[in-house]
Amino acid sequence: MDEKGNQMGGGCNGIGLKFIFLAEEKENYHQHSDNLELVTIIECAIISSVQRFSNPSLVLSIATSSTGWTDWDTCKHWFTDIFVPEAEKHHVDKEKPIILTLDGHDSHEMRKIKQAAYKHYIIIIALPSKTTHKLQPLDVEVFSSIQRQWSTYCDEQLGQGVRITRYNFIQEYLATCFVITPTLVQKAFTNTRIYPLNTTLFHERDFAPSLASSSVATFPMPYPDEVPSSP
């Protein structure tokens, strides 16, 4: 489980596309929305068993917060009202616990969430700080695929005169979720070494001190003793 911020204009970062124009075409433009209004999406990839990866199912729920980011109430609502029923529906072996991996944000560690997890035989594993770029399946594979498709889709809609706002964001976003496939989810868990389990993901160099701040001291150039005057 992880949160992702989606800008209604598709995001200001490039999507990796290059455009080729004729040399005599002096005015070359690529339309892209400047709407940077943010909507937070909570995504969760569920594996129904160790033998197979389930087809993605989209469970829609809308919540608001004062900042636009996930707060304690939003996280509790997602966990108890959405994740627990959906996870139990895919729970194959009732003798084994449900495992939920997420980052260590304080909204994920509420007492009420821990109590609900204990009640429903769910073990929550909080990923260590500064490791989600390697250990979080959504960060490693899923979110990047969604972002590329979302940026492309927003540009296409803009070309057709469709403006994405908070009122049509959900239906437009759902039109891009086809990129979340069992193959993509399986690739995400494989590349993070969560399944199949592989403990060789990190190497000694990953734990080495920063050369810029810990091992090699760097200082600015000293101010010159003599400064030549201008003629």
What are the sequence ranges of the domains in the chain?
Answer: 2-198
Residue by residue, pLDDT tens for the chain (231 residues) are: 888 888 888 876 655 566 677 777 666 666 778 788 888 888 887 766 544 555 555 667 778 777 777 888 889 999 999 999 988 988 888 899 999 999 888 888 889 999 999 999 999 999 988 888 899 999 999 998 999 999 989 989 988 999 898 889 989 999 998 898 888 988 998 999 988 888 889 888 888 777 666 566 566 666 666 766 555
Rounded Cα gap, residues 32 and 141, in angstroms: 24
80 CB-contact burial (10 Å; exposed 0-12 / middle 13-18 / buried 19+) = middle
CA 35 to chain centre: 20
The dihedral through the CA atoms of 6, 10, 11, 16 has a sign that is positive
Secondary structure, 3-state, the chain: CEEEEEECCCCCCCCCCCCCCCCCCCCCCCCCCCCCCEEEEEECCCCCCCCCCCCCCCCCCCCCCCCCCCCHHHHHHHHHHHHHHHHHHCCCCCCCCEEEEECCCHHHHCHHHHHHHHHCCEEEEECCCCCHHHHCHHHHHHHHHHHHHHHHHHHHHHHCCCCCCCCCHHHHHHCCHHHCCHHHHHHHHHHCCCCCCCCCCCCHHHHCCCHHHHHCCCCCCCCCCCCCCCC
Measured CA to CA, the distance from residue 97 to residue 108 in angstroms comes to: 18
Which architecture does CATH list for 2-198? 2-Layer Sandwich (3.30)
